[in-house]
């Protein structure tokens, strides 16, 4: 018996959709990507969606857009961007790479997400944006964040790479701020192997993203006509109007991603039900002794889990390392919650971020937390029993 972090979520149909593209020989981005983008935008409740080759690329594109000369509220060198201490590496690095200054904010232990109280303390006159990293399928109180940001003129960016399908007050996470990003990496809510999406509601911003995604050229953007007229001597197919990357997905990724996307609600319900079953088994057991704390869900949030975070309670904490090794031997795979407090990582020390600042809650999550997988198939009673009985074996200090 085993309980891996990930199980293969591809169905035969998903793979067939990919094979059909291979057979068509049209592998580079085309009609299927466009169709996926259209369906994604509609379902998520955003005007525009643009597919890219990963969630990290979506974050890079999002940050590149807000420092771009064509962006109306363009940020300048060293403008501050708030970011939670529990984040992913590529939530952070585009901020740094694009000449902005990350200002780390502590998180709430109960929700793993950015702390509103600490966020208020960290705002200065130089704060121009906030990178909300919605951790593991939920968020902080986005109404509060919206209120604060509106008052202070702060741009909201949403790294929703871990929370596709989650809602806050009936709005999809990722659609509340100026831009939202998603990841379709193997372990996430849906997968195209690798892949990502970025959404926004402003036509001009969408076209900036489009141009940056493909070399900075004007093709297929609203800017094309104007530049074509002005630069009559240049070949209109090769008009470079902006800086750029190549962050495009392949049609294979789009076909598999679209096929998976149609099952988002189904996967979400199964994962939710599996999580409830695990919690219920643990709590009903006569061995339950409050070994773990589970993430709290605000009643405005409809979560979309892909992993199951557990915080070991203090009376059991001394045995954490021994316990995780024990689970490993039992083939129950675990991992840290994101990367723990990112400021404890050597990469953060290399850049000397927020020296001498303390993030006690992020440290606590790193110390007490770990997560296990939540799969897209209904957990059967044998697996449930195997998993929970082993989880309950953590010993008191």
In the bound complex, what is the minimum distance in angstroms from residue 91's beta carbon to ligand PLP? 5
- Binding-site ranges for ligand PLP (CB under 6 A): 54-56, 59, 88, 90-91, 133, 159, 161-162, 183, 185, 196
Cβ proximity of 190 and 260 under 8 Å? yes
The answer to whether 215 is a known catalytic residue is no
Tell me the C-alpha to C-alpha distance, in Å, between residue 167 and each of 49, 76, 116, 135, 200. Answer: 17, 32, 19, 13, 16
Q: Residue 54 is encoded by which pair of tokens?
A: 């990963």
- Burial of residue 237 (CB within 10 Å: 0-12, 13-18, 19+) is exposed
Which residue reads 């076209």 in tokens?
Answer: 207
Is 118 or 159 the residue whose CB approaches ligand PLP more closely?
159
**Catalytically annotated residue among 188, 215, 224, 375:** 188
In the bound complex, what is the minimum distance in angstroms from residue 195's beta carbon to ligand PLP? 7
In the bound complex, what is the minimum distance in angstroms from residue 177's beta carbon to ligand PLP? 15
Cβ of 360: how many Cβ atoms within 10 Å?
A: 12
Residue 157's SS3 state is strand
Residue 59's SS3 state is helix
Is 162 or 302 the residue whose CB approaches ligand PLP more closely?
162
Residue 310 pairs in a beta bridge with: 294, 370
Nearest-CB residue to ligand PLP? 55
Taking the C-alpha atoms of residue 143 and residue 275, their distance in angstroms, rounded to an integer, is 26
In the bound complex, what is the minimum distance in angstroms from residue 67's beta carbon to ligand PLP? 19
Is 135 or 241 the residue whose CB approaches ligand PLP more closely?
135
Residue 77 pairs in a beta bridge with: none
In the bound complex, what is the minimum distance in angstroms from residue 224's beta carbon to ligand PLP? 30
Angle made by CA atoms 257, 178, 52, in degrees to the nearest 5:
25
Is 62 or 109 the residue whose CB approaches ligand PLP more closely?
62
Cβ proximity of 5 and 333 under 8 Å? yes
Residue 197 pairs in a beta bridge with: 51, 182
- Burial of residue 64 (CB within 10 Å: 0-12, 13-18, 19+) is buried
Is 196 or 373 the residue whose CB approaches ligand PLP more closely?
196
Is 86 or 149 the residue whose CB approaches ligand PLP more closely?
86
In our burial notation (b when 16+ CB lie closer than 10 A, e otherwise), range 42-52 reads eebebebbbbb
Q: Residue 27 is encoded by which pair of tokens?
A: 């592998």
In the bound complex, what is the minimum distance in angstroms from residue 280's beta carbon to ligand PLP? 27
Give the residue numbers annotated as catalytic, written as ranges: 188
């Amino acid at each position: 018996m085993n309980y891996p972090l990930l199980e293969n979520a591809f169905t035969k149909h998903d793979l067939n959709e990919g094979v059909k593209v291979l057979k068509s020989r049209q592998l580079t981005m085309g009609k299927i990507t466009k169709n996926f983008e259209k369906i994604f935008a509609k379902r998520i409740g955003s005007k525009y969606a643009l597919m890219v080759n990963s969630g990290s690329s979506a974050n890079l594109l999002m940050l590149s857009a807000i420092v771009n000369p064509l962006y109306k509220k363009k940020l300048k060198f060293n403008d501050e961007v708030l970011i939670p201490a529990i984040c992913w590496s590529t939530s952070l690095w585009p901020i740094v790479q694009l000449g902005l200054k990350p200002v780390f904010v502590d998180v709430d232990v109960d929700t793993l997400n950015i702390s509103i109280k600490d966020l208020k303390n960290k705002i200065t006159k130089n704060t121009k944006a906030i990178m909300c990293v919605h951790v593991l399928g939920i968020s902080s109180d986005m109404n509060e964040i919206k209120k604060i940001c509106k008052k202070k003129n702060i741009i909201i960016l949403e790294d929703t790479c871990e929370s596709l399908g989650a809602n806050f007050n009936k709005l999809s996470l990722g659609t509340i701020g100026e831009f939202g990003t998603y990841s379709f990496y193997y372990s996430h809510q849906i997968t195209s192997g690798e892949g990502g999406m970025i959404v926004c509601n402003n036509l001009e911003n969408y076209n900036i993203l489009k141009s940056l995604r493909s070399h900075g050229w004007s093709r297929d953007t609203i800017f094309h006509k104007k530049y074509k007229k002005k630069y009559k001597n240049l070949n209109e197919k090769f008009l470079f109007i902006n800086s750029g990357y190549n962050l495009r997905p392949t049609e294979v990724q789009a076909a598999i991603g679209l096929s998976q996307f149609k099952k988002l609600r189904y996967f979400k319900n199964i994962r939710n039900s599996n999580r409830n079953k695990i919690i219920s088994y643990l709590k009903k057991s006569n061995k339950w002794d409050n070994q773990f704390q589970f993430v709290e869900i605000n009643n405005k949030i409809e979560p979309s889990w892909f992993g199951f975070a557990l915080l070991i309670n203090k009376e059991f904490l001394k045995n954490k390392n021994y316990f995780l090794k024990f689970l490993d031997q039992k083939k129950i795979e675990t991992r840290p919650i994101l990367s723990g407090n990112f400021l404890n990582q050597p990469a953060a020390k290399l850049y000397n971020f927020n020296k001498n600042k303390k993030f006690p809650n992020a440290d606590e999550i790193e110390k007490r937390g770990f997560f296990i997988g939540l799969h897209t198939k209904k957990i059967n009673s044998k697996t449930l029993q195997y998993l929970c009985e082993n989880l309950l074996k953590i010993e008191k200090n």
